[in-house]
Amino acid sequence: MHMGGSNYGMYDIRKCDVKIVIGNGRTMSATRVGKLPVEFAMNDGSKMMVTLDDYHYVPEMGDMFLFSILNALQRGWQLANEKMVMTLSKGSTLLKFDHLLKTPKGVLGALKGTLVGLCERVYPSMVGNGEWSMDTNRFHKIFGHVHEGTSKLTAKYYSVETTGTLQPCEDCNLSKARQKNVAKSTMTKATDPGEQLCINISSVAHTSFGGSKFWILVLDDKTDMIWSIFVRHKNQLAKEITYSLGCPELSR
């Protein structure tokens, strides 16, 4: 399995508790497992974006990373070599372990890579000389319409410089909108029958034999005439009342 001491850019993260025994017998623990996007740079100047599946985050490893060749082989990559350089290939894709690190007893093949954060992964065309810049309002929408303070903290975490001023967001306003409260009482008295109707709806404890669950009560303010209407669903209120009042064209 791939492992390392950074969780920057990880996604599809799951909790785990995997014990790892290293060469000196010491035990370390992997606390998270997921996918880690990395951009590898070869000595010939070529670059390759690779997502390490089954990457285990081991906080105690610090800035060290281990690439699992067996993990790659299980996923269809082919192992070969070009003299001292190990290679992994899959189709036309070729990954070279061409950064050779000398050890007291030999040479260690390594990869040079850069961890890729969320913004780089989703919007790679926005990269420019290592600096990230995005309009504040666009950033606000991309990251789920979060609060301005949270948006700034997120931008700081991902090293994104936001520009401009946050404008009133129509989508945010719509999500916060609520229907105006309906008055529960009135001092206005009707002067003619049918001029003012008082309406209430409530649920009953048990469903009737006809399948009704809600009771609509209509009271004429002038004559105190009462109508009882029983319906199966609350959203039938407007249709049933307009039909009962003799205005079927309003119930359509």
* Positions of the chain with pLDDT lower than 50, given as ranges: 125-130, 248-252
Spatial CB neighbours of 119, under 8 Å, sequence gap ≥ 6:
126, 132, 134, 158, 160
Q: What angle do CA 137, 36, 18 make, to 5 degrees?
A: 130
The reported pLDDT for the residue numbered 42 is 87
Tokens of 166: 């946050």
The reported pLDDT for the residue numbered 120 is 59
The reported pLDDT for the residue numbered 55 is 92
3-state SS class at 61? helix
Neighbours of 200 (CB within 10 A): 10
The reported pLDDT for the residue numbered 78 is 92
Task: Please name the residue that has the structure tokens 């999500």.
Answer: 175
The reported pLDDT for the residue numbered 58 is 92
The reported pLDDT for the residue numbered 57 is 93
Q: How many angstroms separate the CA atoms of 154 and 134, rounded?
A: 13
The reported pLDDT for the residue numbered 122 is 55
The reported pLDDT for the residue numbered 252 is 43
Q: How many angstroms separate the CA atoms of 2 and 70, rounded?
A: 10
The reported pLDDT for the residue numbered 43 is 86
The reported pLDDT for the residue numbered 249 is 45
Burial 90-108 (b: 16+ CB within 10 A, else e): eeeeebbbbbeeeeeeeee
Q: What angle do CA 44, 49, 96 make, to 5 degrees?
A: 40
Listed by start position, the domains of the chain span 2-115, 123-169, 197-251
The reported pLDDT for the residue numbered 212 is 92
Q: How far is CA 38 from CA 14, 55, 83, 100, in A?
A: 19, 11, 25, 19
